Structure 1
Amino acid sequence: MIDLATYVPMGDKKNSGFFEEYLPKVFDRRAESGLPEIVDRMAAVVVQVEHGDAVNYIAELALMGPYRLVDARLTDTHKVYLLQSQPDFPRMVLLEPLAAAFEDEVTRWNMLYPLASAKPNARYIGEIYKATSVKAVRDALEPQGVRFVYDGETANPFYCSEHLSFTFLSDFTYNRVGYVDVPLDTLEGLNLGDKLQISAESQSLIESAASRQAEHGIADKVLGIDHLATRILAGEREDAILEYLTMVPYYFWGAYNITEMNSSTNVTRHPDVPDDKLSPARVFTANNTPAIVNSFENLPMPTEDFVRNFGRRMHHMAYEVGDGDVNEVKNVDFVVSELTKLGTPFLAD
């Protein structure tokens, strides 16, 4: 158990006086609102793909990691797929618009950025947290300036229902936070719509990917999600952290400078889990200097470039690879090597 009043964050990244003043205030207000008793661990992560891409993405996930399809539903606007890894780990919810012309807030945000506009509906949406009552969450957070989606305010009804409630897109991360008060072992409790039958062809594609993963010895080595990392603008790092810690029972673990990238990585974690895979760490990465002044010193700014081209958004979901080796090759290197053989590209050697 972490004592938020005495905990000293890790790392060499210095925070402003503003952040140091408001971080304990956020924790105190959160405790007074009862949020830690209402909101528990992460229940799921939510991703939206382009129309027609869901089955291929599910197959890709089956090839690279532990997630497997367990349920699917049909709403008025989307196909909704539920994937599971280990029973105690967060689920993955995949949204696929029924029409290529579907448009909502995600579409409009993506269209603002040159490299995001090519797939205007493809985006990491956010996390869903377990809650005792979604109404109780809204009652606790709305007085603190957190805005929730209500019926009629969005084109996608998934974001607002009796047992599932999402915030508006964050001004700092363009992600949402959702809360659910029914189990997510299936989608039945959400009353989303009729059960969606997966075609034999689609099922074969997914099963083939899982079989290839097993044949290459990867299946038992890639575990659950360790952390989720969003890239944001330099000047919004502290605001994004304070916002997130207002809405979920995480704490600011610490921040480190990444000198070669002229940026910092800022980590928030759940204080009561023995394993981050039970409720993955939430990471925020930002440049140390904004693009507008970078030309004075011409420092690297890959994080700022990413945000300017794609918008504030999730950069990666990181899986943990189990310890061990295969023929004196570390498991993580073995997994990367085998996935490369299977056609999965990696950003770096």
Structure 2
Amino acid sequence: MSTFRNDDDTLRAGAEEVLKERRRLGLEGLVGGLEAVSIRVEPGDLVPAAREFLERTGHALADAFDQAGERCCLLRLPGSADVILRAGPLRDNPFRSYNYGPKSGHLPDTRLETFIFRCGDVRRYAAIQKERGVAFLTPEPLETSAFLFIQTRPSAYTGNSIGLVQWKGTPGRYRGDGCADLDLPLEKPDKAHLKDILELDHTATRVHARDRDPAILEFMGLTGYHFDFAVHVESLNSITNVARMPGGGFAMVFTSGIEPYSEDGSSGPTEQYIHNYGRRVHHMAFHCRDIRPVFSALKADGMEFLSELVGSPGEGLRQTFSRPSKRTLLVNEYIERYDGFDGFFTKSNVTLLTKATENQ
């Protein structure tokens, strides 16, 4: 029987060492905020997945193009990270081995794959990280007329990749050289509640209990993020861990078990999710201006949810989880904060929401 159990003091000590190393190597300040998330879907799911985002978030279609046989949709909302949807034939997908599970194996290439961050000097960044032993998908940064770009190989702990982009001119032009326009049957619905769904607030990646500390420390070593806090829910064998950039903005959440998965059915919904779907991003959270009418309108449009709204102005926030998309496997979280509250949940909220994932 395993005696492993996560301990926040150990994680905080490791986080201090990572910050010291970032400063020593000259990485501190080199990586900025999140520019985009890149989501791959199966070849026949590009248009339906894009339509889901148009109907369920504030993002609108900004560009659609073909890049050497790979079709891409760029979804954009001012003040938010972009969403890039990609689909196309793959000879060798480095993410595929992370995608298999009893409930995800039918979509072998579907995944939120890459978090793309601004970088002041991609070549310098890559050289420093290679000295640290970081492996990238290409030997050198990809250079186009619009940007320099490099991304890490998928993490052994999360299955996610970190991308670094250095813009040459106008930021946000993701087309490589020689891309062709795509004419897709996509249109943003003109519905009032979509204007109240705002920026991408955070995402949550589910990782094994033993991988919690390595996953967070690895992410800190690749970005400018700091470990902020963790909330333990003992009854559900779950820890929600938050990493943030100084000054705020998009947050990265890692959810793990307190103790490892066991076969006896007592592992809790977080470890059970990983058993069913593999290590991956569980949900994308969108900040809302007025969540109650947004929630009602989304339900009226046929969107299904794992929970009702939880929380209140008195607690500082309200939030809910949708059912996972059949196209992306991602859950949408909708969240509204009140009176300057800057957290992501209360302990009662995170307990209710974590438990709601048992329903998927």
TM over 0.5: yes
Structure 1 residue runs without a partner (length 5+)? 1-12, 153-159, 323-330
Paired amino acid for 2:209 = A
Matched residue, 2:219:
244
Secondary structure, in 3 states, of the residue corresponding to 1:219? Answer: helix
Assess if the C-alpha contact under 8 Å between 1:82 and 1:186 holds in 2.
no
Q: 1:257 aligns with which of 217, 228, 232?
A: 232
- Counterpart CA distance in 2 for 1:260 and 1:340 is 30
- Counterpart CA distance in 1 for 2:13 and 2:52 is 44
TM-score (ref. length: structure 1): 0.80
TM-score (ref. length: structure 2): 0.77
- Counterpart CA distance in 1 for 2:12 and 2:246 is 19
Deviations 1:68-109 (A, max 9, x none): 1111221224112221111x3211111111x4x755122333
Matched residue, 1:114:
102
In terms of fraction of residues, the more helix-rich structure is: 1
Q: Which of structures 1 and 2 has the larger relative contact order (alpha carbons within 8 angstroms, sep 6+)?
A: 1
Q: 2:36 aligns with which of 8, 24, 44?
A: 44
Assess if the C-alpha contact under 8 Å between 1:148 and 1:167 holds in 2.
yes
- Counterpart CA distance in 2 for 1:24 and 1:284 is 18
Matched residue, 2:153:
168
Matched residue, 2:256:
286
- Counterpart CA distance in 2 for 1:341 and 1:44 is 30
Secondary structure, in 3 states, of the residue corresponding to 1:164? Answer: strand
Assess if the C-alpha contact under 8 Å between 1:84 and 1:90 holds in 2.
yes
- Counterpart CA distance in 1 for 2:231 and 2:267 is 16
Matched residue, 2:340:
none
Q: 1:56 aligns with which of 42, 48, 70?
A: 48
Secondary structure, in 3 states, of the residue corresponding to 1:239? Answer: helix
Assess if the C-alpha contact under 8 Å between 1:169 and 1:175 holds in 2.
yes
Assess if the C-alpha contact under 8 Å between 1:229 and 1:317 holds in 2.
yes
Matched residue, 2:307:
348
Secondary structure, in 3 states, of the residue corresponding to 1:45? Answer: strand
Matched residue, 2:210:
235
Paired amino acid for 1:126 = T
Matched residue, 1:197:
182
The number of residue pairs the alignment matches comes to 297
Matched residue, 1:134:
122
Note the C-alpha offset of 1:143.
1.5
Distance 1:337 1:259, change over 3 A: farther
Paired amino acid for 1:92 = V
Deviations 1:160-208 (A, max 9, x none): 62211100000000000000001543324x43x3232214xx13xx33x
Matched residue, 1:104:
93
Note the C-alpha offset of 1:347.
1.2
Secondary structure, in 3 states, of the residue corresponding to 1:147? Answer: coil
Secondary structure, in 3 states, of the residue corresponding to 2:227? Answer: strand
Structure 2 residue runs without a partner (length 5+)? 1-5, 309-360
- Counterpart CA distance in 2 for 1:318 and 1:264 is 18
Cα RMSD, aligned residues only: 2.0
Matched residue, 1:311:
278
Note the C-alpha offset of 1:305.
0.8
Matched residue, 1:8:
none
Matched residue, 1:3:
none
Identity of aligned residues (%): 27
Deviations 1:197-245 (A, max 9, x none): 214xx13xx33xx22xx1xx31221111111100010111011010000
Assess if the C-alpha contact under 8 Å between 2:117 and 2:163 holds in 1.
yes
Assess if the C-alpha contact under 8 Å between 1:71 and 1:187 holds in 2.
no
Distance 1:77 1:108, change over 3 A: farther
Assess if the C-alpha contact under 8 Å between 2:234 and 2:258 holds in 1.
no
Matched residue, 1:6:
none
Assess if the C-alpha contact under 8 Å between 1:103 and 1:121 holds in 2.
no
